[in-house]
Structure 1
Amino acid sequence: MAESRPDGVDVVATREQAVGMAMPPLLVLDAVGEWLDGQGIGPVGGALSWERIGDGQSNITYLVRRGDGPDATRFVVRRGPRPPLPPSAHDMVRESRVQRVLGERGVRVPRILGVCEDESVLGVPFYVMEHLDGVVVTDTDPPALSSAQARGRASEAVVDTLVALHAVDVADPAVAALGRPEGYLARQVRRFAGLWPEVSTRELDDFPVVTTWLADHVPEQAGSAVVHGDYRLGNLMLDASAPGRVLAVLDWEMATLGDPLADLGYLTATWSDPAWEPTVMDHSSVTRREGWWSRADLAEAYARRTGQDLSALGWYQALAMWKSAVFCEAMYTRWLRGERAGDTTFAPFLEEGVPGLLARARSHAGLGA
């Protein structure tokens, strides 16, 4: 029998059940099982059970269990959304390559077990990675973070992990192949400014205002580093018993080489802080609780560890909110077109959420209301 979430978004079925469905299933059990057999992943012919994990709003991640008893294996399947997809977006093949390169250089990432480029299996490429037994913190503190002291250690680990990522040698040929750091900031502004008319069907006055300000005030690049692109608490897996230790950094779709302060700007602009009104990009409301560091604490700790000048941090924070507005507007437009049918938890709120992100970008830019 086909299975789905109550909102109908997440359909898992067999090939036979998928025939005639209005929307293709996101996970085709027998097709994935056959592919796993061919890759030697898990017990051959083992039954599959699944669970949707993660809080991602675009790419989809499943915890899959294969087989029963002591020989059962657990792993994670990650795929993009249903087509049609924007050019160069949701590239799971590239994301898996990034993880392999960085994992070989000491960055804490899940180990890649296999990559499927054959779109006949699920309709899009996907990859399989190891399952790690940790916790991802969003809106609830796990037991290990029950004290303010433990939450402070977790905050410190967030910064230390980012500092370690930015210390990866970008002259290493395999790392250097991941991107072109020169001119990164100006390219970001040009790229996302060009995306807006492709993803939006409405006029929002703040978008051109912020776009012009960003283009006119691009700071001197603060160096070259591996940039995660979506570095936030919800993309970190913490050790369940030792919250001051990060087991892995997740979701590498946006990773490239560029300005390290782009990651810090994004982290601080999206970090839930009681001193700031939340936006739709505040995905980890738990950090409003006592013990978690503030946005200023995160920035100061990063500056101490790296020696970076953060006088232009507001520009990077404005960039983060502006880019988020573009991503969220794309989701909202797809929802309006029926391509995110059943999404009642995020996309409908973007009608006001996207203008809110642009207003926050204006604030970081010092442009007033």
Structure 2
Amino acid sequence: MTGDSYLDRLVDEAALRAYLESELGPAEGFAIEHHGEGHSNETLFVTWGDRKLVMRRPPAGETAESAHDVLREYRVISALSGTDVPVPTAVLACEDTDVIGGEFYLMDRLEGDVVRDAEPERFATPEHRRRMGEGLADTMAAIHTLDYEAVGLGDLGHPSGFTERQVERWGKQFEWAAETTRESREVPHVDEIGDWLEVNVPDEYEHTLVHGDFKLDNVMFAPGTPPWINAVMDWEMGTLGDPLRDVGWMLVYWDTDPLIPDLMPGFLDRPGYPTREELIEQYERASGIEFVHREFYVVLALYMLAAVCEMFYARYLNGNSEDDLYPKMETLVPDIGGRAKELIDGDRTV
């Protein structure tokens, strides 16, 4: 680790070493590296002897209630092992916050690429690009068609009333952040968007396992070609609920006009990548679930994104992150609200 004060707050190396020795046995080699690509839970690479592991823990400092639930991630990936939903192998979980200052879990580290800022050269053909998109839709369909009762996740959430609660929950998350951020600036339209969502919640929807943060850079593509997904990651918001909530979220991030270039791929206009409509059709074929009420689910996703990004901005203002992206949310969150307002007003289509 470096001497950086924020990184020092993420893990006590001596305490972690003692814990790993008690749980995994002694090892000659021990190293920790902070992986700074994510913007929510913290990810650290841990080497323990010959084992390459990944640690997930919440960010340092205050967080919104119910956010950053890493032990939920651990439970889900443990249950999904051996199913059609690819996940890393869970190793251990620690609820004792005295060990490193927060709950955490460890999983095996897989080889492959997380496609975020640029496409891997080996995928830079129309055929491989199309397969990347189709694989993303197929993997989401595998999540939504999984028999969650059979793998022991029947009590993971309460699917009845899920979508109604999502509107309420993300409004509260935004308000939590706004207690800090409104001193810096206001976000236009956010109350109007929340009111519109409350009025337009669908009366009925499927009940499935839901990832909660399903998008291109939360899956890993295995080495080689053709592209295939060997892991779905970041299950902190995994629950039982409305699968179309995942679809709307994926579509917000699959956009040739990305709202947040630092968070969203900027290469989806290249030949071969499926359009949004083609992704929807692939998902519907693979899952047997129709993507209805499209405007509602995309507006909901934008409302969620605004809340998440406003929490990023609050963490920056509170001094609880050194992520270079967070201060940009001063202007980007109002842009997200503007995009949602365009959909509501009919000035933009899904």
**In structure 2, distance between residues paired with 1:177 and 1:108:** 21
Is 1:261 the counterpart of 2:260 in the alignment? no
TM-aligned CA distance change 1:243 to 1:228, over 3 Å: farther
Q: How does 1:68-147 map to 2 (within 5 A)?
A: 72-147=50-125
Of 34, 42, 45, the match for 1:60: 42
Identify if the C-alpha distance between structure 1 residues 54 and 82 changes in structure 2 by more than 3 Å, giving closer, same or farther. closer
Query: For residue 254 of structure 2, what is the aligned residue in structure 1?
Result: 271
Name the SS of the counterpart of 1:153 in structure 2.
helix
Check conservation: 1:270, 1:281, Cα contact below 8 A: no
Distance 2:48 2:149 in 1: 40
Equivalent residues of 1:144, 1:240 under 8 A apart = no
Distance 2:304 2:142 in 1: 25
Alignment of 1:350 onto 2:349: no
Task: Provide structure 1 residue ranges, at least 5 long, that are not aligned to the other structure.
Answer: 12-23
Relative to the length of structure 1, the TM-score reads 0.87
- Conserved? CA contact 1:61–1:77, under 8 Å: yes
- SS class of match (2:9): coil
Contact 1:229 1:255 in 2 (8 A): yes
Matches within 5 A, 1:152-171: 152-171=130-149
Q: Aligned partner of 1:223: which letter?
A: E
Range with greater deviation from structure 2 (150-159 or 26-35): 26-35
Alpha carbons 2:284, 2:291 under 8 Å: kept:
yes
Report 1 or 2 for greater relative contact order, CA contacts < 8 Å, sequence distance ≥ 6. Answer: 2
Matching residue of 1:174: 152
Which deviates further from its counterpart, 326-335 or 190-199? 190-199
What's the counterpart of residue 320 of structure 2?
Answer: 339
Q: Out of 209, 227, 238, which is 2:192 matched to? A: 209
The 3-state SS of whatever aligns with 1:64 is: strand
Partners of 1:178 and 1:86 lie apart in 2 by 20
Alignment of 1:190-205 (within 5 A): 190-200=168-178, 201-202=181-182, 203-205=186-188
- Identical residues among aligned pairs (%): 33
- 2:14, 2:287 → 1: CA distance? 49
Partner amino acid, structure 2, of 1:350: M
* Cα separation, 2, equivalents of 1:309 and 1:115: 37
- Match for 1:346: what amino acid? L
CA distance in 1 between counterparts of 2:122 and 2:145 reads 29
Could you state the TM-score of these two structures normalised by the residue count of structure 2? 0.91
Q: How do residues 322-333 of structure 1 correspond to structure 2 at under 5 angstroms?
A: 322-333=303-314
CA contact (8 A) 1:102 1:175 kept: no
- Quote how far apart the aligned CAs of 1:104 are: 4.8
Aligned length: 343
* Amino acid across the alignment from 2:312: M
* Cα offset, 1:284, TM superposition: 2.4
- Measure the CA separation in 1 of the matches of 2:165 and 2:261: 25
C-alpha deviation, 1:173, in angstroms:
7.2
- Root-mean-square deviation (CA, aligned residues, Å) is 2.1
Secondary structure of 2:221's aligned partner: strand
